[in-house]
């Protein structure tokens, strides 16, 4: 009894088993990723007011790819012909999705963009059912219904769903397809090498789109800061932290922790961008987050693999 009490006490003050401490760090790391992802909506919205979205994204993805190669140079030797084929296809989808979301962000608010993009996890269940015949569970159907109610609540706000929101939802749909395609082919490749190819493919296609008007570099330190935030923290560092954390936490727990991204998107938008929070956004956001948590929990129940987020 005394030993059990001592163990419980040690655990409470941070001296418990290394596994418990690693799980705590993994939890903190994933919440940090969700915070960075959520904050990026406000930061990117400010950045694309000063430079074209295609230019911003091309620089972001190029820098992220360079950083990932620098962190693990040996990954280049694991890029094979199949890696190039799948990575380029995935990268084109990734670039198109981010372009839709970023252009949509120019036409709506960061909080709404963060909430709507969060629906991609729920949408992915439909895409998987339609493309790879993955059965849709009862819990997933419930999450789809809750997510639809959240979307309806946001649509009731002024000025309703417009072009910006439509582009955000289109981007979420393409990202959902990317998520499913990545899950299907990822086991065939070194994930680090596949990610590098995706980032370079996305950067290349975005640079080609931007080239006719000339590629604009970030005009000031604030925009360069956003490039570094999205390329370093939101991409390269997030990939490393998420990969490490997924080996120590269940898929359901990983999904639930990352599902806080829309919450952080709203909080940061209110704090830094003075965004006005209406009941439509509160109710809609809560329903969307609830739908994502339910979808992730349902998908990860009883499994120990990598989260689909």
pLDDT in tens, 196-222: 999 999 999 999 988 887 888 999 999
Integer Cα distance of 150 and 118 in angstroms: 11
Give tens-digit pLDDT for 91-132: 999 999 999 999 999 999 998 899 888 888 788 888 888 888
- At 169 the pLDDT is 92
DSSP characters over 120-165 = HHHHHHHHHHHHS-PPPPHHHHHHHHHHHHHHHHHHTSTT-S-HHH
pTM: 0.82
Segment 168-188, tens digit of pLDDT: 999 999 988 888 888 888 778
Query: 27: left (phi > 0), else alpha (psi -120 to 50), else beta?
Result: alpha
Between CA 182 and CA 188 the distance in angstroms is: 10
3-class DSSP assignment, residue 114: helix
Query: Which residue in the block uniquely carries the two structure tokens 């509160």?
Result: 282
69, 106, 121, 168, 213 from 55: Cα distances, Å:
21, 14, 27, 19, 10
Q: Quick one: pLDDT at residue 33? A: 92
Q: pLDDT category, 135, cuts 50, 70, 90?
A: confident
Average pLDDT, stretch 28-48?
A: 93
Dihedral sign for Cα atoms in the order 57, 117, 28, 74: negative
> What is the distance between the alpha carbons of residues 199 and 194, in angstroms, rounded to a whole number?
9
What confidence score (pLDDT) does residue 252 get? Answer: 66
CA dist., res. 270 & res. 100, Å (int) = 23
Question: pLDDT at residue 223 above 70?
Answer: yes
Helix axes 221-228, 53-71, angle to 10 degrees: 50
- What mean pLDDT is predicted for residues 83-93? 93
Q: Is the pLDDT score of 75 beyond 90?
A: no
């Amino acid at each position: 009894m005394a030993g059990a009490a001592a163990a419980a006490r040690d655990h409470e003050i941070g001296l418990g088993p290394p596994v418990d401490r690693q799980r705590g760090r993994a939890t903190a790391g994933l919440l940090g990723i969700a915070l960075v992802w959520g904050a990026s909506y406000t930061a990117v919205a400010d950045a694309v007011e000063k430079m074209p979205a295609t230019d911003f994204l091309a620089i972001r993805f190029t820098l992220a790819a360079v950083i990932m190669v620098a962190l693990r140079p040996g990954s280049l030797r694991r890029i094979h012909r199949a890696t190039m084929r799948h990575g380029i296809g995935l990268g084109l989808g990734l670039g198109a999705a981010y372009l839709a979301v970023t252009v949509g962000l120019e036409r709506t608010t960061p909080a709404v963009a963060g909430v709507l993009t969060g629906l991609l996890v729920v949408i992915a269940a439909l895409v998987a059912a339609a493309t790879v015949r993955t059965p849709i569970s009862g819990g997933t159907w419930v999450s789809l219904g809750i997510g639809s109610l959240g979307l309806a609540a946001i649509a009731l706000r002024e000025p309703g769903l417009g072009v910006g929101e439509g582009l955000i939802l289109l981007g979420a749909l393409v990202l959902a397809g990317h998520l499913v395609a990545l899950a299907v082919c990822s086991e065939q490749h070194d994930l680090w090498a596949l990610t590098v190819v995706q980032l370079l493919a996305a950067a290349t296609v975005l640079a080609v789109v931007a080239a006719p008007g000339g590629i604009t570099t970030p005009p000031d330190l604030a925009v360069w800061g956003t490039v570094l935030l999205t390329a370093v923290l939101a991409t390269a560092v997030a990939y490393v932290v998420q990969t490490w954390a997924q080996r120590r936490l269940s898929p359901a727990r990983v999904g639930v922790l990352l599902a806080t991204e829309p919450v952080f998107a709203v909080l940061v938008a209110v704090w830094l961008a003075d965004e006005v929070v209406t009941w439509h956004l509160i109710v809609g956001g809560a329903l969307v987050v609830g739908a994502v948590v339910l979808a992730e929990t349902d998908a990860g129940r009883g499994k120990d693999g990598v989260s689909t987020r």
